[in-house]
Structure 1
Amino acid sequence: MTLTCEPDGLGGLPIEKFHQVLIAEGATEFDRPGSTCPMNQLPLYKHPTMLFPGHPHSHRRCKAGDFFVAEHAHAHAIKLPLWHREQDLELAAQYSRAARKISDHHKEVL
């Protein structure tokens, strides 16, 4: 599950700080995407000639900003495991309460 944190809606609270406070609240399974990224940031799309030197379109390269919506979503994402068992409901509710608490008190965090 991925949540979006918009700093403008939280008085300018940076997502990194939001994430740190979540961890401090004990919601340690919140995570910032590190193993994933928008496709245009992968080597295949940044430097396609390395993998496909003879391909007729290997001269096309993607750069930062080409897919601004995906890049924005990635930059403002916080991930959670996908809880799916009935016994996970209370844990999911605790994590939801922690995120809501920080959102409600974001001015104190700034």
Structure 2
Amino acid sequence: YSSAPCQAGWFGTRCQFQCHCASSCDVTTGQCQGGSKCQHGWFGVACQYQDSTSINSATITANVDLSSPNWITDRDDSTCNGDVNLKSIVVTWTDTIPITWLRF
């Protein structure tokens, strides 16, 4: 444990985590401050999970028209798919992407 303050953009007991909030984050917990969300491409507790669907090489397709798939990448756990006809989503990358976490 370190009692020294973290440099800007870092948090944690040893300043071991990088802040990925759209604004600033709490220097101890990493929670986004001022009601802000995670930066684009990050989500989860203290914005520590990278959203692999937001990587430039990702292509998202589905069995119905996804003209506005914002609910997939909006960084908001409270939004969901509203299309009852959606049965499947396929994400394809041109690069190898390690998948370490899935949210359904």
TM bin (shorter chain): under 0.3
TM-score, length basis structure 2: 0.22
Q: Which protein is richer in strand relative to its size?
A: 2
Q: Which one scores higher on RCO, CA 8 angstroms, separation ≥ 6?
A: 1
TM-score, length basis structure 1: 0.21
